[in-house]
């Protein structure tokens, strides 16, 4: 939330952040996507030759679709072509690496030990804590092994405490008149 507050007046940066958090794409995947790789009907982005050596589809939730629609509409308004990569900076030039603005924003938000890659861990962690299986997260992230996915999915202390509460016996619901 602190990072989002810092970026409130930087819509280009917010869209980059939101797509990272909603898709879990690797930085090298996200910043090489062109608009023609986005399929709104099938709700995915087709990635060609990913880090693990194969093509894959990145599935898009409602939030990611909304961000991408706005981003592509803005590109059209600015007269940017569909051949360039999806994300662009203030000077309308394609962005290949968000590190400069991201590192500055993280520092401004007073967040420590966070890199762009941390967003990928956040994606996995949030899904697992919301109940997604490790197998599902593995597929969404494009991992070859479940072991790699497990390394990404960190459980918050609050989530761990909630899990412990599952061990407690359920009490019978109170009824009227008892």
Q: Which two tokens stand for residue 55?
A: 């093509």
- Looking at the structure, do residues 74 and 120 belong to the same domain, yes or no? no
Where is the domain boundary, 99, 114, 129? 114
Where is the domain boundary, 94, 114, 134? 114
How many domains does the chain fold into?
A: 2
- Looking at the structure, do residues 38 and 108 belong to the same domain, yes or no? yes
- Looking at the structure, do residues 92 and 127 belong to the same domain, yes or no? no
Kind and range of the H or E run holding 76: helix 62-77
- Looking at the structure, do residues 91 and 123 belong to the same domain, yes or no? no
Number of Cβ within a 10 Å radius of residue 56: 19
- Looking at the structure, do residues 12 and 79 belong to the same domain, yes or no? yes
Instruction: Report yes or no on 176 lying in a domain.
Output: no
Q: What is the pLDDT along the chain (178 residues), one digit of tens a residue?
A: 999 999 998 888 999 999 999 999 999 999 999 999 999 999 999 998 888 778 999 999 999 999 999 999 988 888 887 778 899 887 888 888 999 899 999 999 999 999 999 999 999 999 999 999 999 999 999 999 999 998 898 888 888 888 888 888 887 666 666 5
The structure's pTM equals: 0.87
Instruction: Report yes or no on 178 lying in a domain.
Output: no
Look up the domain containing 135 and give its range.
115-165
Task: Check: CB of residue 156 under 8 Å from CB of residue 129.
Answer: yes
Instruction: Report yes or no on 172 lying in a domain.
Output: no
Q: Which residues of 85-101 are buried (b: 16+ CB within 10 A; e: fewer)?
A: bbbbeeeeeebeebeeb
């Amino acid at each position: 939330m602190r990072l989002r507050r810092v970026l409130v007046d930087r819509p280009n940066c917010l869209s980059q952040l939101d797509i990272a958090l909603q898709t879990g794409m690797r930085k090298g995947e996200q910043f090489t996507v062109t608009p023609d790789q986005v399929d709104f009907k099938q709700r995915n982005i087709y990635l060609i030759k990913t880090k693990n050596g194969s093509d894959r589809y990145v599935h898009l939730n409602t939030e990611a679709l909304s961000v991408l629609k706005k981003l592509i509409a803005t590109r059209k308004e600015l007269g940017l072509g569909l051949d360039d990569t999806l994300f662009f900076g203030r000077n309308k030039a394609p962005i290949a690496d968000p590190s400069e603005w991201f590192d500055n924003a993280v520092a401004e938000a007073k967040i420590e030990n966070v890199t762009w890659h941390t967003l990928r861990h956040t994606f996995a962690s949030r899904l697992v804590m919301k109940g997604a299986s490790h197998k599902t997260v593995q597929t969404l992230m494009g991992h070859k092994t479940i072991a790699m996915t497990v390394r990404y999915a960190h459980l918050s202390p609050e989530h761990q405490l909630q899990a412990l509460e599952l061990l407690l016996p359920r009490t019978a619901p109170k009824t009227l008149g008892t």
